[in-house]
Amino acid sequence: MLFFPVNCLICGKRLPAPGEVLCLRCEQLIPLTAYTHKQKNPVAMSFWGRVPVELCTALFRFEKGSAYQSLLHQLKYKGNRKTGRYLGRLLGFELKHSSFSACDLIVPVPLHKKRLLQRGYNQCELIARGVSEMMGIPVETGLLIRKEHRESQTGMGRYDRYQNVSGSFRIASKAPDISRKKVLLLDDVVTTGATLEACCQTLIRSYSCLVYIATVCCA
């Protein structure tokens, strides 16, 4: 079997193995937030007064113009699936020795079936698989369903984003009972938190479960 050479997505340096994404130096330079062990952090505070969430974190900051933007761009728009598992493993390693390790299951934010058909995969599920690999917590994809295919939220403000996703999620008809479970809700990026808020409301209203939020990055 032939393996084509792969390069670091940040600096372009040749990587020793096909499954790798970043070189060691670029991985060490990821602009980490260090939010995981801080209950009061900007991501958590963005949900205060909106929806009851146990803990919130984001792995790194989505800085405008940063080379690290390419990681999410490759994952969402270039079909680079291995980047999802890679980012999930980084996030899972961060969460493994924290209070997030008490979660019973991981629920990735779902895509609408039309968007899923267009993209071919749910990038949040790929990230969730990487997190699961590191933490040993099962991924549950048969729980939340996105009811409507709505316009992209890029460029929208907080209110418009909330209006765009309000009522967009429901519980699947054959969903398992997760009453009073600790749920790790996972998304790729948090900006205003509107999508995550809508998911939380659906989960808490249906199950009275405890929701923890983790994302790869925050804007």
Which pLDDT does position 150 carry in this prediction? 53
Which range of residues forms the domain containing residue 20? Answer: 1-30
Q: How far is CA 1 from CA 4, 19, 127, 215, in A?
A: 10, 15, 27, 36
19 and 82 part of one domain = no
pTM: 0.89
> Which tens digit of pLDDT belongs to each residue from 110-156?
999 999 999 999 999 999 999 999 999 999 999 999 987 555 545 55
Cα separation of 70 and 129, whole Å?
20
Structurally, the chain folds into a number of domains equal to 2
pLDDT > 90? residue 31: yes
| Helix pair angle (69-77, 123-135), 10° resolution | 120
Which pLDDT does position 1 carry in this prediction? 40
Please state whether beta strands 169-171 and 144-146 pair in parallel, antiparallel, or not at all (unpaired): antiparallel
| Pair 179, 171: CB distance under 8 Å | no
Q: Residue 211: which CATH number?
A: 3.40.50.2020
Which pLDDT does position 165 carry in this prediction? 64
15 and 57 part of one domain = no
> Which tens digit of pLDDT belongs to each residue from 68-108?
988 999 999 999 999 999 999 999 999 999 999 999 999 99
| Pair 47, 62: CB distance under 8 Å | no
Tokens of 34: 């260090």
Which pLDDT does position 17 carry in this prediction? 84
| Pair 150, 142: CB distance under 8 Å | no
12 and 119 part of one domain = no
> Which tens digit of pLDDT belongs to each residue from 150-209?
555 455 555 455 555 667 899 999 999 999 999 999 999 999 999 999 999 999 999 999
134 and 92 part of one domain = yes
22 and 39 part of one domain = no
Cα separation of 53 and 44, whole Å?
8
20 and 69 part of one domain = no
142 and 108 part of one domain = yes
41 and 101 part of one domain = yes
| 131 part of a folded domain | yes
| 213 part of a folded domain | yes
pLDDT > 50? residue 2: no
Q: What is the 3-state secondary structure (H, E, C) of 64-122?
A: CCCCCHHHHHHHHHCCCHHHHHHHHHHHHHHHHCCHHHHCCEEEECCCCHHHHHHHCCC
